[in-house]
Amino acid sequence: MAPKSVQTAPDATGDPKHAVRATRSAGRQMRSRLLDGASRLFREQGPAGTSISDIAAAADAFPSQITYYFHTKEALFVEAACRDMLYVARAAEQAALSAHTPREYTRALVASVTATDSVAFFAEALTLTRRRQDLAPLVERTIERLHGEGLRAYAGQIERHGWNTLRDPDATSRRFWAVAIGVMVEGYATGRSPDELCAEMLRVLGEQATTKPAGDSARLRLVGERDPSVSNSPQGETSS
């Protein structure tokens, strides 16, 4: 995935702000390059097995540039993991866009999320943050965005296709990510393959929505906390 924060430097236009913009852009590029190098090394070797000078070498930078941009190795670890988690979430939503049924949608999301170790990387950052509460605000913002974007994407799909969600979309999105973290943390500890992780996550997650029942209007039906088997049965697929 291409880092989104990299922007090409604006052309020289004689604008006096050009130098400032060029410096800012170079700073962004360096930050992004450091995050890329860090992400690769941290995933392979973990935080304990990776030094600041390893990362500097991987990004063709000086160790002092890492401390300038990120202060500590732990802060860099958490920022790289948070960035990658938001990337994988967006990639999963992209991969699921063409799904025609709720089952295809869930399957595409899960396959995408279990294909990389980004969720395990993020879970490792969460674990580290427990002991480093100074890093909690970044994690908090990432989780908020994750749930906010997940909710928006899910609610959009539900509405676009006229599916029935089995629970309120916010709880559905939160469950998706909680299950992803739980399954990945367990699976990486026991050395599971991506295929096994995908199957386990699908199994644990269960159905998220059903296709629109015949004859129902186009409105979004939210089942919320109630048991789907007892709610509004005339509207269920059983009536079709």
For residues 110 and 120, what is the distance between their CA atoms, to the nearest angstrom? 14
Look up residue 224 and give its amino acid. Answer: G
CB 28 within 8 A of CB 6: yes
C-beta of 136: minimal distance to its own copies in Å?
Answer: 6
C-beta of 161: minimal distance to its own copies in Å?
Answer: 16
The strand ranges marked E within the chain are 164-165, 209-210
Cα-Cα-Cα-Cα dihedral sign, residues 109, 112, 118, 120 = positive
Other Cβ atoms within 10 Å of 102 Cβ, number: 21
Please identify, using beta-carbon distances, which residue of 16 and 100 lies nearer to its own copies: 100
* Six token digits for residue 136: 């909690």
Please identify, using beta-carbon distances, which residue of 20 and 136 lies nearer to its own copies: 136
Residue found by looking up tokens 């367990």 in the block: 186
C-beta of 149: minimal distance to its own copies in Å?
Answer: 16
Please identify, using beta-carbon distances, which residue of 33 and 147 lies nearer to its own copies: 147
Binding residues for its own copies (CB under 8 A): 46, 48-49, 120, 123-127, 129-131, 133, 136, 139-140, 143, 164, 166-167, 171, 174-175, 177-183, 185-186, 188-191, 200, 203-207, 210, 223, 225-231, 233, 236-238
C-beta of 230: minimal distance to its own copies in Å?
Answer: 4
